[in-house]
């Protein structure tokens, strides 16, 4: 049985559809300031691995806007809280190239070993926030091959 370490109940419910026996564990742990999401996950796996019995899953994600030197990147959660989507759109005013990457790293602690799985979604930033559904940057991210956020 796996535990998902998260504060986000919706994330838990989404993952539970894939892993029906998944349990949610809402706990605080330090998140280091690092250059990559992979480093954040590596630290969290080691830190939590010393404190949690059994197998668990954690994840972290980031939006990387190429014209902004991959900002907000590893700081995506904090930047969303402080600037929001409107702040990101303001930073991109007058910018034609709006290519972006959304990256998720899932960390798995299984039988005392650490594993990482990386998912990348390519796209671009819209010129305005659109849509009523989604989470964080969804209203401004247009996935490659699509015309809607």
Identified catalytic residue from 60, 70, 96, 138:
60
99 is catalytic: no
Distance CA 42, CA 24 (A): 20
Distance CA 35, CA 73 (A): 9
Strand partners, 99: 124
3-state secondary structure 76-107: HHHHHHHCHHHHHHHHCCCCCCCEEEEEEEEE
Which positions are annotated as active-site residues? 60
């Amino acid at each position: 049985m796996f535990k998902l370490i998260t504060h986000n109940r919706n994330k838990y419910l989404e993952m539970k559809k894939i892993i029906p026996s998944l349990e949610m564990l809402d706990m605080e742990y330090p998140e280091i300031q690092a250059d990559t999401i992979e480093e954040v996950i590596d630290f969290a796996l080691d830190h939590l691995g010393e404190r949690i019995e059994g197998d668990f899953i954690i994840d972290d994600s980031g939006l990387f806007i190429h014209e902004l030197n991959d900002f907000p990147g590893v700081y995506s959660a904090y930047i969303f809280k402080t600037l929001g989507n409107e702040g990101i759109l303001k930073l991109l005013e007058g910018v034609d190239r709006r290519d972006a990457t959304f990256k998720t790293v899932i960390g798995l602690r299984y039988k005392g070993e650490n594993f990482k799985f990386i998912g990348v979604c390519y796209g671009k930033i819209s010129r305005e926030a659109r849509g009523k559904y989604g989470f964080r940057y969804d209203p401004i991210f247009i996935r490659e091959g699509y015309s809607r956020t």
